Structure 1
């Protein structure tokens, strides 16, 4: 499915990027390391229990609205704090020290590290409750066979098309690239495809090309991803690297290190590119720019494997050392786990909903949500393995080097050896 957006005049800030309240508490890592925190749960003034929730500033308004509703229903005090930076590491440190929150809201790929650090608890949702959510979102928030987060939103990259220069939807990535190159040759745009590479590489955005090219990152077993089965350096990844090299600066010139996460969206919004690979976070910029565009899931290379981007889920998780675990479990498994709360979270945070009924209702009003739902359903959860810490830098650097003209096969083999050695350590 593709969704076309006609040209619009620039408008004010859209709903899907709400500004946090000025009253949001900003908790810094240095404050936590000093052993002083506004968190820690406990009892509020007057002896009533208090539930403390940590999130980031972008999600503050959405989490606050749901938390306040829960607090009113339960007759308890609820405090939502917007952590200013490094939420995951701040939470691990505070939880270990016993002064962290009762609930943390964050990305699913934190889960492996949080479980390894004993920072979160498994959740007791039954199969019927789980069936209300997209299977991919539940897979993402499940680790070693146990559910650790209730997902409220999910996302993956898709292919944006400048309909002023490419009116027809491409069936393959090769067709998109060919149409983009024609637009460049005709002087309509400066770039055929804006896919973030940068000087350090971008393994996240490149994943769809790796998978369609025949490669994979980690294999899977009955419990999920298997860190012992590394696909980088294997034949499929070498074939994908060759194709990426052909698209690079010494080949077709489609992929360039001058395009990064800092400028890819802005240049496309300004009409300088025919295509863009990005996620739903680009929508606000495009709507504000008034660019006519269409969106579709990233198509595969011609005659190749499907393009499977990384999928990410945002979820509510219960802290292992929170002071009010009973209320924390009740909030995550009941207060959040319902259509009203999930609708509120979508309205204020803007992520495609993970709850199927809410996603269906939202898509009926905004077809773009359906496209991004298809995109994440066709993706694979970003591995929540702690081993991912050894992947991002060497794999990203390998992609950047290949785009810049380095030998694709040799570069990918070296990246695989580097990652494998780091995981083994």
Structure 2
């Protein structure tokens, strides 16, 4: 493994150049390599870009684009022949970006899958080719207050019973913290939804998500939400719209809830609070299917309009040769490294990483097909409405109607 060259100290700015002295900058090629990322990911790119720039004698600029605008801005820039050399984003953008011709394959093959966490390379594949380089994975797990709950619950029912007993005793305020909110959260409800038998898409013969088999309002999914409704506001109250993205982690970190369903992004706040905790897989219904969290893969995408395609691909792949670069990315943005060698380097430092990876085993990569974009909001809203007391079949039928309209708009190019 080659060692990293000393890095310049840089601040967080909208455009990050490779070095801070005029003399050093003058040695670089005058045309910079550009990376677009949201602010959180751009933070992780800082020292990564610095190291690469020195190694190849080429300026690298990291341009911060708001997360809500990043994908649309990238597609818009592509259509006008502008834009970055690389994009950093989640793998579920793969299908839309590849079908629009905005990104290109990155030269990885199926044999390279053994270098990564299970499923990571498949997640960034589209139409039989690998279109991204995974650098981190993320999935939900169950965070458990070990002072209040020393043993891992063996089912969702056991978790609910334990949490309810703690509420009844006055030890906590609520049995479980799982973000729902007024608009719902498809990502966080998905493990329980699949355990209860629901599904979003069927699979085509190659095993990819099949938009022709939309499962949102299928009988299995209606039955799943009838079961989940029993945990909602008109049932036991374990699931509530009052728990959302703004308070879910703090409810657990403050000791108000004994369990939290969340991802590695919540760990820092829990550790800062000094709460003793363990990371377990999300529990399944005792008589149900496995709980399948959605797997997210943060990736480097090479733009089809890159000014220097070969160098852009080299930057996207550079950390395969130097796992220390994955460590740099982790230290700036603590998500589980997708590269197995980097994960091994970090596991001793943070055993929670391996625990999150175990919790993701059997998970489902977020569908990387363009049609998924039309699913998130209607399905999320239906889940919130049902948890709030709406009739499952009606709410899911309305969600499916809106989703199919979204499919039609995509097909028409609207």
The TM-score with structure 1 as length reference comes to 0.87
Other-structure match for 1:157: 140
Gaps of 5+ in 1: 1-19, 28-42
The yes-or-no answer on 1:73 pairing with 2:55 is yes
> Structure 1's 23 and 302: CA in aligned 2 closer, same or farther, altered over 3 A?
closer
> Structure 1's 93 and 321: CA in aligned 2 closer, same or farther, altered over 3 A?
same
Other-structure match for 1:62: 44
- CA shift, 1:108, in A, is 0.7
Q: Which has the higher contact order (CA 8 A, sep 6+)?
A: 1
The yes-or-no answer on 1:224 pairing with 2:213 is no
- Asked whether the equivalents of residues 296 and 366 of structure 2 are also in contact (C-alpha less than 8 Å), the reply is yes
- CA shift, 1:337, in A, is 5.2
91-100 vs 347-356, which moves further: 91-100
CA RMSD of aligned residues (A): 2.2
Other-structure match for 1:168: 151
Aligned counterpart for 2:14 among listed residues 17, 25, 36: 25
Other-structure match for 1:410: 394
Moved >6 Å (runs of 4+): 43-46
State the distance in 2 between where 1:333 and 1:259 align.
40
**SS of aligned partner of 1:165:** coil
Other-structure match for 1:290: 274
1:383-423 deviation per Cα after TM superposition (whole angstroms, max 9, x unaligned): 12221222122111111111111122332233233323432
**SS of aligned partner of 1:273:** coil
> Structure 1's 44 and 322: CA in aligned 2 closer, same or farther, altered over 3 A?
farther
State the distance in 1 between where 2:322 and 2:28 align.
30
> Structure 1's 184 and 82: CA in aligned 2 closer, same or farther, altered over 3 A?
same
Aligned residue pairs, count:
391
State the distance in 2 between where 1:229 and 1:312 align.
22
114-123 vs 202-211, which moves further: 114-123
State the distance in 2 between where 1:335 and 1:91 align.
24
State the distance in 2 between where 1:424 and 1:23 align.
42
- Asked whether the equivalents of residues 29 and 57 of structure 2 are also in contact (C-alpha less than 8 Å), the reply is no
> Structure 1's 25 and 343: CA in aligned 2 closer, same or farther, altered over 3 A?
same
- CA shift, 1:61, in A, is 3.8
Other-structure match for 1:183: 166
The yes-or-no answer on 1:212 pairing with 2:195 is yes
> Structure 1's 47 and 155: CA in aligned 2 closer, same or farther, altered over 3 A?
closer
Aligned counterpart for 1:83 among listed residues 65, 72, 86: 65
47-56 vs 204-213, which moves further: 47-56
